[in-house]
Amino acid sequence: MLLQQLINGLTLGGVYALIALGYTMVYGILELINFAHGEIYMLGAYLGIIFLAFFTAAGLTATSLPIALFLTVLLTIIFCSAYGFAMEKTAYKPLRNAPRLSPLISAIGVSIFLQNYVMLTQGATDKVFPYKFSSAGFQFLNVNMTYLQAIIIAVSALLMLLLHLFIQKTRIGKAMRATAQDKTMASLVGINVDIIISATFVIGAGLAAVAGIMVAAYYGLVNYYIGYIAGIKAFTAAVLGGIGSIPGAMLGGIVLGLVESIGAAYISSEYKDAYAFIILIIILLIKPSGILGKTAEEKV
Amino acid sequence: MRRITIFLITVFSLTIVISGCRKKEDVIKIGIAGPMTGAQAKMGTDFKNGVALAVEEWNNKGGILGKKIEIIVGDDAADPKQAVSVANKLVNEGAAGIIGHFNSSCSIPASDVYNRAGIPMITPASTNPRLTERGYKGVFRVCGRDDQQGLIAAGFLKNKLKIKRIAIIHDKTTYGQGLADEFKKHLGSNAEIIYYGGITQGDKDFKTVLTSIKEKKPEIVYFGGIYPEAGLLVKQSREINLTAPFMSGDGSIDPKFIEIAGDKAAEGTYLTFSPDPKNIPAAKGFIEKYNARHGELGPYSIYAYDAINIMLSAIKEANTTEGKAVIEKLHSMEFSGSFGKIKFTDKGDVADSPYVVWITKNGKFEEYWKP
């Protein structure tokens, strides 16, 4: 049973980690908590359903499911990235030099706007994912793991690996790290900070979009307020791992998923949501910068 | 330029909302309260459709007391806090009576407001016993009570299925936990409750709870709650190979439940609910009219239809919209509802309300067992 609970927790944790990355990347660069990030994940879930329903109506799902799913994921990532890009340009960029509270309020505004926008255009009732994945899967050691669960864990791991390589090995990644360290210095050595910030939002939104589709497919049920709870949980994961730290967000997400599953299984399911925050409080008391976070040095 | 466009669109959309205001007329106002938005919006819409149909019939016959009837809709979004503010709003707008709310957790706090204002309220769907146990004269319901529902569910397990190892889950709401507790109470000593625990309404992942339950090898899983969670529970339990059948109450009997769970996973789920109106000759006229207008009948549309008819008959008989007189009439009169004659007890419950057990079969609900 422990093994089964670990797999349940890992699936959940992978999704939390993907969303948490968006929070932590933006925070690392702008020191802004993008509260609207959870809504991008919600948009991802909705767009996934819309595109897949479209391909189903067009007959593509029946003839070739993998192509339909691939196109759905691709289109959703593109659309969500566009949302992320537009969000930064309209709600945050004009406030780049404003007091820190202003972009925070702007973020909450974007979040409320997106929620209501989806509610009004898509209706207030739950949407059901248009394709039912079979509940078949692997069986080992008395543990069931559906293929979809395996895919979610694998995709999360793959995306995190790719992101890590991207940040560490590419020129843009290097520029991102430089911008995170010091925006002014980065611009002085010829880095276009605007492009780097946009890229951060686009990548974060793309990851959230994938998380959204996977969750919609996994649970089969989506509504316009899923972004709120997922956003809070992912934010917790980011703080838990050390906000601003990319490996920290991955670790935080997985720890959070596991703690929720194990806590609900062995203590009481009624306090499932509380465990995440209990762990958060403990970590913050012991190590205020989070598990992998570095203590912020005074910038002189 | 783009900013100006966005600004114009915003202004334009706001004007649409504002221009929805209407002229004041001399009418009798009846409030309908329920979840019109949110996860349970379908239930609220079913209410509204049932009530609107009845009101239209009354208005076509010339209204009552020489006045037309007008509906004011209150949206509580299944949230107890919002239910109280909606209740105050309906009272302030001059509602003569209330049809609603849907969730017991909303009906109970809202009934305080209506009681204080002296307005009668008839709920078509709130089944928690506590609603009518607090001595409020003006609170009525046309549906049954959870203690009756729990009794039937327990009897079904004892007499028909003859099984003993039972797991109970509830959604921690007044309705869900109340139903689960009533069921547990009526199980008696010969059943073995191997699991009892709560989940959170609105949550999507129940695999941890289900894994714990699977470990204890239940013969049936009973869920006290509403259809979105019920659907996910059934779906996810099949994914981890928990094959025991599910049983739930009237809150789960909705086509969305099968849609969420999938035909195959939902197959063989037992639900306690009132008898199928399609088998009752008196209800035929209503069902035909409803189908023609709004499509498939919701589980509570017919109760909403009955509730508003009872309310309007009482106002007509009392010959006034004054709350005290209407409440008196509601207590003393006998009404003809879709399921037969309805007479309220002193508490405001329906004197006899039969529950039966339904089953999910081939993606449809059908009546299965009668005590």
Report domain extents, chain B: 10-144+280-338, 147-273+356-369
Closest chain A residue to B198, measured at CA: A270
CB A269 within 8 A of CB A225: no
**What is the tens place of the pLDDT at every residue in B195-232?**
999 998 888 889 889 988 998 999 999 999 999 899 99
A124 to B38: CB separation less than 8 angstroms, yes or no:
yes
ipTM score for this prediction: 0.77
Residues of A within 8 A of B231 (CB-CB) are: 221
In A, minimum Cα distance to B36 occurs at A124
Report which DSSP code applies to B294. Answer: H
Checking if the pLDDT of B114 tops 90, the result is yes
- Helix/strand/coil for B290: helix
pLDDT confidence bin for B103, thresholds 50/70/90: very high
Query: Do residues A23 and A37 touch, judged by C-beta distance below 8 A?
Result: yes
What CATH fold (topology level) applies to the domain B147-273+356-369?
A: Rossmann fold (3.40.50)
Q: Which residues of A touch B197 (CB under 8 A)?
A: 268-270
Chain A residues inside the 8 Å CB shell of B42? 125
Give the C-alpha separation, B70 to B52, whole Å.
Answer: 9
How far off is chain A from B204, nearest CA to CA, in Å? Answer: 7
Amino acid letter for position A110: V
Under DSSP, is residue B30 helix (H, G, I), strand (E, B) or coil?
Answer: strand
What is the model's pLDDT at position A287? 87
Whether A226 sits inside 8 A of B209 (CB atoms) is: no
Q: What is the 3-state secondary structure (H, E, C) of chain A?
A: CHHHHHHHHHHHHHHHHHHHHHHHHHHHHHCCCCCCHHHHHHHHHHHHHHHHHHHHHCCHHHHCHHHHHHHHHHHHHHHHHHHHHHHHHHHHHHHCCCCCHHHHHHHHHHHHHHHHHHHHHHCCCCEECCCCCCCCEEEECCEEEEHHHHHHHHHHHHHHHHHHHHHHHCHHHHHHHHHHHCHHHHHHCCCCHHHHHHHHHHHHHHHHHHHHHHHHHHHCEECCCHHHHHHHHHHHHHHHHCCCCHHHHHHHHHHHHHHHHHHHHHCCHHHHHHHHHHHHHHHHHHCCCCCCCCCCCCCC
Q: Do B240 and A221 touch (CB under 8 A)?
A: no
The contact set of A with B (CB < 8 A) is 1, 4-5, 8-9, 12, 119, 123-126, 128, 132, 135, 137, 144, 146, 215, 219-221, 223, 225-226, 229, 260-261, 264-265, 268-270, 272-273
Measuring CA to CA, how many Å separate B191 from each of A78, B74, B129, B185, B197?
55, 43, 24, 11, 17
Cα separation, B310 vs A167, whole angstroms: 68
Cis peptide bond N-terminal to A164, omega within 30: no
A148, A269, A270: best to mutate for the B interface, most B CBs within 10 A? A269
Name the pLDDT band for B20 (thresholds 50, 70, 90).
Answer: very low
Hey, are the CB atoms on B260 and A126 less than 8 Å from each other?
A: yes
Strand bridging mode B121-123 / B165-170: unpaired
Q: Does residue A292 form part of some domain?
A: no
- What pLDDT band is residue B22 in, cutting at 50, 70 and 90? very low
B211·A265 Cβ contact <8 A: yes
Q: Residue B99 is inside which H or E element, if any?
A: strand B97-99
Number of domains in chain A: 1
Substitution target in B208, B227, B234, B252 with the highest count of A β-carbons within 10 Å is B208
Kindly state the tokens that stand for A149: 């669960």
Domain B10-144+280-338 -> CATH class: alpha beta
The mean predicted confidence, pLDDT, of chain B is: 88
Q: Which residue of B has its CA nearest to A220?
A: B260
What pLDDT is attached to residue B9? 57
Q: How many angstroms separate the CA of residue A177 from the nearest CA in chain B?
A: 33
To the nearest 10 degrees (0 to 180), the angle between helices A171-181 and A147-169 is: 80
Domains B10-144+280-338 and B147-273+356-369 agree in fold = yes
pLDDT score for A131? 83
Report the pLDDT value the prediction gives residue B18, as an integer from 0 to 100.
47
Contact A153, A14 (CB under 8 A): yes
**Quick one: average pLDDT of B88-113?**
94
β partners of residue A128: A221
DSSP H or E stretch at residue B257: helix B255-261
Q: Which helix (H) or strand (E) holds B68?
A: strand B68-75
A-chain residue closest to B236, CA distance: A219
Q: Confidence class of residue B23 from pLDDT cuts 50, 70 and 90?
A: very low
Domain residue limits at A198? 2-286
Taking CB atoms and an 8 Å limit, are B198 and A219 in contact across chains? no
Q: Identify all chain B residues contacting A268, using CB atoms and an 8 Å cutoff.
A: 197
Nearest Cα of chain A lies from the Cα of B291 at a distance, in angstroms, of 21
Mutation pick from A2, A3, A8 vs chain B, by most beta carbons of B within 10 Å, is A8
Task: At A269, list the tokens.
Answer: 């399911």
Q: For residues A228 and A134, what is the distance between their CA atoms, to the nearest angstrom? A: 29
CB contact under 8 A, A8 and B208: yes
Sign of CA dihedral B317, B322, B326, B328: negative
Predicted pLDDT at B352: 72
Burial, B296: exposed, middle or buried (Cβ in 10 Å; 0-12, 13-18, 19+)? exposed
**Chain B residues touching residue A5 (CB < 8 angstroms):** 208, 211
Confidence of residue B12 (pLDDT cuts 50, 70, 90): low
CA distance A143 to chain B (A): 8
Question: A1, A90, A118, A125: best mutation site toward chain B, by most B Cβ within 10 Å?
Answer: A125
CATH code for position A83: 1.10.3470
Residue A299 covered by a domain: no
Mean pLDDT of B80-84: 94
- Residue B82: its pLDDT value, please? 94
Q: Which of B41, B202, B212 is closest, CB to CB, to A125?
A: B41
Q: How far is B331 from chain A (nearest CA, A)?
A: 37
DSSP labels for B169-236? Answer: EE-SSHHHHHHHHHHHHHH-TTSEEEEEEE--TT----HHHHHHHHHT--SEEEEES-HHHHHHHHHH
Residues of A in contact with B255 (CB under 8 A): none
Assigned domain for A14 exists: yes
Are the beta carbons of B208 and A272 separated by less than 8 Å? yes
Region B175-196 average pLDDT: 90
Min Cα separation A296/chain B (Å): 36
User: In this structure, is the dihedral angle defined by the CA atoms of residues A208, A193, A112 and A243, taken in order, positive or negative?
Assistant: positive
- pLDDT of amino acid B247: 95
- Residues B253-265 pLDDT 10s: 988 899 889 889 9
Distance of residue A298 Cα from the nearest chain B Cα, in angstroms: 39
Give the three-state DSSP class for B98: strand
Residues of B with CB under 8 A from a CB of A: 36-39, 41-42, 172, 197-200, 202-205, 207-209, 211-212, 215, 228, 231-232, 235, 238-241, 256, 259-260, 262, 265
pLDDT along chain A (300 residues), means of 10: 87 92 90 90 94 88 85 94 94 90 92 90 82 78 83 92 93 91 90 93 94 91 87 90 89 92 84 84 87 63
- pLDDT value, residue A36: 92
- Predicted confidence (pLDDT) at residue B111 exceeds the cutoff of 70: yes
Q: What is the pLDDT of residue B7?
A: 59
CA–CA distance, A125 with B259 (Å, rounded to integer): 13
One-letter amino acid at B67 equals K
The Cα–Cα gap between B154 and B62 comes to: 48
